Chain A
Amino acid sequence: MIELQHISKIFEVGGQPIYALKDASETFETGDYVAIVGPSGSGKSTLLNVIGCLLRPSAGAYIFNGEDVSQLDDQALSRVRQQQIGFIFQSFHLVPRLTALDNVALPMVFAGIPASERRRRAEAALEAVGLTDRAGHRPNQLSVGQRQRVVIARAIIMQPSLLLADEPTGNLDTHSGHQIMELLESLNVKGLTLIVVTHDPNVARRANRVIVLTDGQIVNRLKGQELSDRGMPFS
């Protein structure tokens, strides 16, 4: 379970404090499936980065599985990311020099897991996303849909409790976007908390809950089905 308690994030721009997040509170149950939506500059990314332990909030508490992680040092935060959080990015962020297998195994390198086990687990993860036959390929030898599958395999390799997806279908065509979302949802069904930041109402609507963000504040909470396919609740 993840709890955000009165989280604020302030950036200094030209000496002026800018609130990227203002007093945001939210609770995500284990196994939750939440979409975060909002116009550009509404603070979606900042919220995602705070949840992903990439950014320390300026104020408020962030309780991750019972532990306040809001003021942990770099080492401890790295450990939380490593053990608990899987990231999925719009532009994949695969290391171009490494094969699919090596990319998937990358998080285990920093966790100090021995090579033989890394290989076994990475192969299993690739199999889970249906890419066993692509294990030796480099990212540029894969289709965009396959690349995103590699990213998902990498995100789950450390068996995290939370999956954070930032526009996971942004660079994909409708068909492969659909497949990716089904893959993510199948993981959610197995008990992973899934948080998706998206512009796409078709993606947001699939979530159990939708959080609407405007100017750094949570302005609305909906059920996924309540989203009309005509547009987002802020436009």
Chain B
Amino acid sequence: MLWDMMRLAGLALAGNRLRTALCVVGVSVGIAAVVTLTALGEGARQYVIQEFTSIGSNLLSILPGKTETTGAMPGIGGVPNDLTLQDLLALRREIHSAQYIVPVSMGTETVSHGERRRQVAVVGSIADFLNARELHVAQGLFLPNGDVERGAAVVVLGHTVARELFPGQSPLGQVVRVGEWRMRVIGVLAEIGTQLGIKMDEVAIVPVATGLKMFNRSSLYRILIKVRSPRDLNRTCDEALAILTERHNEEDVTCITQKAVISTFSGILQTLTLVLVAIGAISLSVAGIGVMNVMLVTVSERTEEIGLLRALGATQGHIRGLFLLEAILLAGIGGLVGLGLGVGLVKAVVWGFPAIPADPPAWAMWAALGLALVMGGLFGVMPAQRAAKLDPILALQRR
């Protein structure tokens, strides 16, 4: 029965090709907008999550400074109590759930070799930094193990830095100047790209004690703790805070887990996507009005046919169903075409900007199609009702 009704509705649509085509175009533009916007928003979200998880979701960072209000940014400038190497050693002694605990100091400095010079971010850390940040050494060695407080005059260069300072030759064993300091290159990092906004290919990594001395600092930029499983994150945070609070006599550090940062960003981007989709969906409602209008015309044009069907035994329900089905079919075809259009558009965007991992999520495709069908149903109700209420006698009147 439903199948027969669909066939009748389909034949009716095929009978008015141009009109059907225009309606389909209208609906498909709306659906394509929704699909494309969802894909881009979702792509941006995936990109951010991927960016954060690439450095490990088991990571938490402790930074100096305590925020009370949510708005202020933590860690700007110095603090009354430094986050020191002694703090680091205390954490390493007392926290057992951690896989790695590494210090990070930061600064920018000019690195030069002969005539070639380049300003880079100088990261001070220890041997475990390699594993904590999941980095790899392409040539030579990473920082040596040993006394954290002893700063050797050695440096590991980022991929780009090594290539620019030593074009066509091996930098291993060479001496570079980092600011005023002469340092021996012991290793080069593998190419990795940008992590958390820091271009890891454009850094120089030195022992943390050297880093602190170089920039005349007593406080670390932060301490990174890598735990064995995400379940340990919160507990380890609490432990670290307790230890440091006792050492500093006040809670003056902040502990951030990647998970919290990720969920915040993910939430913001999700909201943004929803807003965009809502704006895109406005066009869908306009398309729906178009469908309704055309269906109204169709009903008035097919008055005679409706009368005939009624005389042949079709109930009001049959007629209502027939026209509702026609509207839904119309919107459904539009939805399919729009889906194709949207996916094509997203593919084009990805082709043009490969950095955006835009991919229409499966749920969005189904939702878009569902949305089109529901819209067809909603905007089909009025015309279908009108058709059902037609007096069969008027419809059949001799002309």
- Do these two chains really belong together in a complex? yes
The chain A residues found within 8 Å of chain B, CB to CB, are 45, 49, 52, 54-55, 74-75, 78-79, 81-83, 87, 89-91, 93, 95-98, 106-107, 109-112, 115, 154, 158, 166-167
* Across-interface contacts of B312 in A (CB, < 8 A): 81-82, 87, 106-107, 110, 154
The chain B residues found within 8 Å of chain A, CB to CB, are 1, 4-5, 8, 11-12, 14-15, 304-305, 307-318, 392-393, 396-399
* Across-interface contacts of B1 in A (CB, < 8 A): 109, 112
Query: Smallest distance from the beta carbon of A180 to chain B beta carbons, Å?
Result: 17
Bound form: Cα–Cα A106–B8 in Å: 10
With most chain B CB atoms within 10 A of its CB, the pick from A54, A82, A98, A109 is A109
* 5 cross-chain CB contacts under 8 A: A75-B315, A78-B313, A78-B318, A110-B315, A154-B312
Instruction: Give which listed residue, B15, B316, B393, contacts A54 with CB less than 8 A.
Output: B393
Say yes or no: A78 contacts B398, CB within 8 Å.
no
* Across-interface contacts of A52 in B (CB, < 8 A): 311
Chain B binding surface SS class: helix
Top 8 A-B pairs, shortest CB-CB distance: A82-B313, A78-B315, A93-B308, A107-B312, A110-B314, A97-B15, A109-B4, A97-B11
* Across-interface contacts of B4 in A (CB, < 8 A): 109, 115
Query: Smallest distance from the beta carbon of B315 to chain A beta carbons, Å?
Result: 4
Bound form: Cα–Cα A154–B12 in Å: 20
Query: Smallest distance from the beta carbon of A172 to chain B beta carbons, Å?
Result: 15
* Across-interface contacts of A83 in B (CB, < 8 A): 313
Say yes or no: A110 contacts B398, CB within 8 Å.
no
Say yes or no: B310 contacts A78, CB within 8 Å.
yes
Q: Kindly report which residue of chain A lies nearest to residue B1, judged by CB atoms.
A: A112
Instruction: Give which listed residue, B309, B311, B313, B398, contacts A91 with CB less than 8 A.
Output: B398
Bound form: Cα–Cα A55–B395 in Å: 12
* Across-interface contacts of A167 in B (CB, < 8 A): 398
* Across-interface contacts of B313 in A (CB, < 8 A): 78-79, 81-83, 107, 110-111, 158
* Across-interface contacts of A97 in B (CB, < 8 A): 11-12, 14-15
Query: Smallest distance from the beta carbon of A171 to chain B beta carbons, Å?
Result: 10
Bound form: Cα–Cα A115–B3 in Å: 10
Bound form: Cα–Cα A54–B312 in Å: 10
Bound form: Cα–Cα A112–B5 in Å: 11
Say yes or no: A110 contacts B318, CB within 8 Å.
yes
Say yes or no: B8 contacts A90, CB within 8 Å.
no
* Across-interface contacts of A109 in B (CB, < 8 A): 1, 4-5, 8
Bound form: Cα–Cα A166–B393 in Å: 13
* Across-interface contacts of B307 in A (CB, < 8 A): 93
| Known contacts A109-B1, A109-B8; A91 and B393 CB within 8 A of each other | no
Query: Smallest distance from the beta carbon of A141 to chain B beta carbons, Å?
Result: 15
Say yes or no: B314 contacts A78, CB within 8 Å.
yes
Q: Kindly report which residue of chain B lies nearest to residue A74, judged by CB atoms.
A: B316
Bound form: Cα–Cα A48–B103 in Å: 98
Query: Smallest distance from the beta carbon of B312 to chain A beta carbons, Å?
Result: 4
Bound form: Cα–Cα A110–B313 in Å: 7
Say yes or no: B309 contacts A110, CB within 8 Å.
yes
* Across-interface contacts of A96 in B (CB, < 8 A): 15
Query: Smallest distance from the beta carbon of B304 to chain A beta carbons, Å?
Result: 6
Say yes or no: B398 contacts A166, CB within 8 Å.
yes
* Across-interface contacts of B14 in A (CB, < 8 A): 97
With most chain B CB atoms within 10 A of its CB, the pick from A87, A93, A154 is A93
Given contacts A54-B311, A95-B308, 14 further A-B contacts (CB under 8 A): A54-B392, A54-B396, A79-B313, A79-B315, A82-B313, A87-B312, A93-B305, A95-B305, A97-B11, A97-B14, A109-B4, A110-B309, A110-B313, A167-B398
Say yes or no: B392 contacts A91, CB within 8 Å.
no
Bound form: Cα–Cα A127–B113 in Å: 101
Q: Kindly report which residue of chain A lies nearest to residue B12, judged by CB atoms.
A: A97
* Across-interface contacts of B318 in A (CB, < 8 A): 78, 110
* Across-interface contacts of A115 in B (CB, < 8 A): 4
| Known contacts A115-B4, A166-B398; A81 and B11 CB within 8 A of each other | no
Bound form: Cα–Cα A5–B65 in Å: 98
Say yes or no: A98 contacts B316, CB within 8 Å.
no
* Across-interface contacts of A78 in B (CB, < 8 A): 310, 313-316, 318
* Across-interface contacts of B314 in A (CB, < 8 A): 78, 82, 110
Q: Kindly report which residue of chain B lies nearest to residue A118, judged by CB atoms.
A: B4
* Across-interface contacts of B309 in A (CB, < 8 A): 106, 110
